[in-house]
Structure formats: structure tokens, C-alpha cells
Structure 1
Amino acid sequence: MTTAEQRIAELGLVLPKAPKAVTSGYVPWVQTGNTILISGQLPWKDAKTLIHEGSIGAGITVEQAAEACKQATLNSIAQIKDAVGDLERVRCIVRVEGTISYAPGHINETAKALDGASAVVKGIFGDRGLHTRMLYPVPEIVFKSPCIIVLQAEVD
């Protein structure tokens, strides 16, 4: 059986080091019972640089927004690994939430961008990656980020 970390490599992805909290007053993750709740993750590629900046239709394409969602999801998965030590402890990804920035006239493209996050979760965790999902389209996000991704996972 292929592990989540083997799937990451097979997909040509790199699991980054779990990013630190951007400001004080909160933590990147909390475990309550068997549930891991991840704070919103930005698409940092190296803990200080976003892979894309802007909104769909204003500075970036829907494809670039999907790439940003993929990176923010990898950062979220890195938080899960930081929390539990081994991604094989993940029973399932319960929920993916995405806040996606869009320019007027591009709101319907936000779901396509969030598909990037869903594809990463399903690709890495297989059936354990089937999840519920919520999309929050907004006109602007901090640091000019195109997205914020939040994951919830059930673990052993």
C-alpha cells in the first residue's frame, strides 16, 4: 500500500516545513479529541514569499489561483504532519474550506480554483481524502494572497 508521503513524491509535490503563525494570538493547529483543526494557510512557498499575488481576474488567472490553493493545501498538510508526526495517522480529511479572492465578473471561477485544493487532498490521501467543502469568495485577502485554505482532519 502506498503511503501519503510516497504519493506526495509520486505527484511531484514537496511537503514544506509547517509555516509558523503569521501573527501572535493564535496557533497553526489545535487537536481536540481525534480532530485536527488547521488555521488558515496562505500559499507560502518558503514561509515568506507567496507563489502568486492578486485576485482571479486582477493579477492572476484561475489556473494560478488553483496553484496557490494547492500550495496552501500542502502547507495545511504540513501542519497536520507537525501535529501528529505521521500522515498515516490521518483517517480522513473531513473538510476543506477555501477563501478565494476574485475581481468583479470572476466569482464563478473561484470554485475552479478551490478544485486545486481538493485535487491535492484526494491525490495524497486517496479515499481518505474525500471531504466536505466550503467556498468563501471575497474581493481581497491579506498580503494580496489569492487564497486561504483551512483543513480539518480526523486522526488515530
Structure 2
Amino acid sequence: MSNSIETKLAGLGLALPYAPSAGGNYVPYRINGDTLVLAGVISIHNGVLTHAGQVGGDRTVEEGYAAAQVCALNSLAAIKDALGSLDRVREFVYLAGYVNAVAGFTESPQVINGASDLFVKLYGDAGKHARAAIAVAGLPRGATVEIQVTVSFNS
């Protein structure tokens, strides 16, 4: 726990899960120059799906927010796996957020804030990113949220 981002994470009462593995014929991340592109992650914590169901149906916006935070923790675990340290992140570039929601649901941004807020708490302005927050009819394994993150990093 020597690096400052992991210390901040612990100060929030949170811990990294183990890094997610690919669930198919793809890789968990790809590095191109000083850019790290992560595969999409759902709210699985150490192998267990923590949030399933549709927001606006059997799940609330608050539960969706919590699911997005679990997704953010998975993304951070993947970043650490790829870079060796969370402190190497220069900035969060882009976050695509998908919310499993009922038809007509319009509060996807509030749900995806669960991920965005955590990145900003940990990284300050460097945690702010361009973003899309999209409601969809379903996600893998019935997950409530999926996010895909791109960061730039220092050598």
C-alpha cells in the first residue's frame, strides 16, 4: 500500500478487487504509446456479480450508482495490473458508461457518477474525463452497469 492512490482508496474504506480477466476472445486491456484502453467491466467483485437488474425497474438509481463504483474499482484493478501502479495514471481520458435500464430511463448520468465521482475523489482534476452515459436494454450476465475506461499514463 505504498502508493498514494491506494492510500486514498483505503482512506475511503475501499479496496481493489483482483483484476478482471477476459470473458471471451479479447484482452482485458491494450496499451498504445502512453494510452491504456481497458475492456468493459461489469460489477463483479472477486468473481461475484454484485449488482444485477434494471435501473428504474427492480434497481434504484442509488443501487446503480453503487454498481458503477464497483465497476470503477474493477477498472482501477485492471489499471494496476497493466501499469504496475495506480500512481502512473496521468489522466482519465474517457469513460463510456452503460446502464441496464427500463425503456424511457433518463437518469443514466446520475448512475455513472458512481464511477466518475470515485475517479475524481482519487485523482482530482486528472480524474475528470470525457464521458457517455447510455441506457441500454441489457448487459452481460444481467449486470446493472458496465463501464469502459481510457487513461493516459506516465512512463
Q: Which runs of 5+ in 1 are unaligned?
A: none
Contact 1:35 1:152 in 2 (8 A): yes
> Residue in 2 aligned with 1:133?
131
How far apart are the structure 2 equivalents of 1:37 and 1:111? 21
Structure 2 letter corresponding to 1:21: A
Given that 1:56 and 1:109 are in contact with CA atoms closer than 8 Å, whether structure 2 keeps it comes out as no
1:77 offset after TM fit, Å? 1.0
SS of the aligned residue for 1:75 comes to helix
Q: Which residue in the other structure is 2:9 paired with?
A: 8
Q: Counterpart in 2 of 1:99?
A: 98
State the percentage of identical aligned residues: 34
Equivalence for 2:140 = 142
Query: Deviation per CA, 1:85-135, whole angstroms, max 9, x where unpaired?
Result: 011111001111101111134x21211101111001111112210111112
CA separation in 2, counterparts of 1:130 and 1:112? 15
Distance (whole Å) between structure 2 residues aligned to residue 126 and residue 6 of structure 1: 14
The residue number in structure 2 matching 1:76 is 75
CA contact (8 A) 1:101 1:110 kept: no
Q: Which residue matches 1:19?
A: 20
Count of paired positions: 152
2:146 match: secondary structure? strand
Unaligned runs of 5+ in 2: none
The normalised TM-score by structure 2 is 0.94
Distance 2:50 2:58 in 1: 13
Aligned CA RMSD, in angstroms, stands at: 1.2
Distance in 2 (alpha carbons) for counterparts of 1:57 and 1:115: 16
Looking at structure 1, the residues matched to 65 and 23 of structure 2 have their Cα atoms a distance apart, in angstroms, of: 22
Cα distance in structure 1, aligned partners of 2:34 and 2:22 = 22
| Moved >3 Å (runs of 4+) | none
Structure 2 residue 46 is matched with structure 1 residue 46: yes
User: What are the residue-to-residue correspondences of 1:117-132 with 2, within 5 Å?
Assistant: 117-132=115-130
Q: Distance in 2 between matches of 1:123 and 1:16?
A: 18
